[in-house]
């Protein structure tokens, strides 16, 4: 049984990586990438997949966190997939203001650019209220964040479920549990639908519309 699983931006960490953990102990354990930007000798984190995992009674779920006032870094090509949750708090988190009161007294934002991150196929039960909390960097907003088939059920009706998205416009695919949400939806569209839409606009532009005759 695995008690904790984390990925940190160390100089020797190879990339890409596939991390598979079949089970997790209860308590404060979680799957997280971070804390990025804490040390001056860190390297970019790219190509990490965490899949086929179960979280039980954890205080956090799938999490990426970066320190405020950090040097420039890249975190990209990250996939959380096939995650089962059992009474988990804060199931989906990107926190780019971690330790901001201590690290960034002058208000400097994190220097970590987060992009190409997928949260896919989450099921199970969560402890309300938070479902998704994407708190991204105002200086370099998160790019290409995908939430797909995040189907989670609250263990109680109160407080109501809620989600927050700051400095990010995630793409949604399939069923995604959000509750009350500030997240702007960019819905995934199949390529052929985009082609049909473009063709429709083209036809309207070249075919004259006959006037309507009335008695």
Locate the domains of the chain by residue range.
5-188
Output the CATH code of domain 5-188: 2.160.20.10
What pTM was estimated for this model as a whole? 0.77
Please state, in angstroms and rounded to a whole number, the distance separating the CA atoms of residues 120 and 134: 15
- Residue pair 90/130 in contact (Cβ under 8 Å)? The answer is yes
Provide the pLDDT for residue 195.
53
> Bridge-partner residues for 33, per DSSP?
7, 64
Please state, in angstroms and rounded to a whole number, the distance separating the CA atoms of residues 162 and 164: 7
Comparing 89 with 5, which gets the higher pLDDT? 89
> Bridge-partner residues for 180, per DSSP?
162
Residue 199 — very low, low, confident or very high, per pLDDT cuts 50/70/90?
A: low
153 Cβ contact list (under 8 Å, min separation 6): 124, 125, 126, 177
| Tens-place pLDDT, residues 131-167 | 999 999 888 899 999 999 999 999 999 999 999 999 9
Per-residue CA distances from 194 to 79, 133, 153 (Å): 26, 30, 33
Residue 209 — very low, low, confident or very high, per pLDDT cuts 50/70/90?
A: very low
């Amino acid at each position: 049984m695995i008690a904790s699983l984390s990925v940190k931006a160390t100089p020797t960490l190879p990339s890409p990586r596939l991390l598979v953990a079949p089970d997790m102990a209860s308590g404060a354990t979680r799957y997280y990438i971070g804390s990025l930007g804490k040390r001056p000798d860190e390297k970019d984190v790219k190509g990490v997949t965490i899949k086929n995992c179960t979280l039980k009674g954890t205080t956090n779920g799938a999490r990426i966190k970066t320190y405020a006032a950090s040097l420039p870094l890249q975190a990209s090509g990250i996939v959380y997939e096939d995650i089962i949750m059992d009474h988990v708090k804060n199931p989906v988190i990107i926190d780019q203001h971690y330790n901001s009161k201590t690290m960034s007294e002058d208000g400097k934002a994190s220097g970590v650019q987060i992009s190409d991150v997928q949260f896919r196929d989450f099921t199970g039960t969560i402890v309300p209220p938070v479902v998704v909390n994407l708190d991204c960097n105002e200086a370099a907003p998160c790019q290409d964040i995908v939430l797909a088939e995040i189907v989670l059920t609250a263990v109680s009706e109160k407080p109501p479920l809620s989600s927050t998205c700051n400095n990010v416009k995630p793409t949604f695919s399939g069923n995604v549990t959000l509750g009350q949400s500030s997240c702007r939806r960019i819905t995934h569209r199949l390529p052929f639908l985009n082609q049909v839409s473009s063709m429709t606009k083209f036809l309207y532009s070249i075919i004259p519309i006959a006037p309507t005759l009335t008695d």
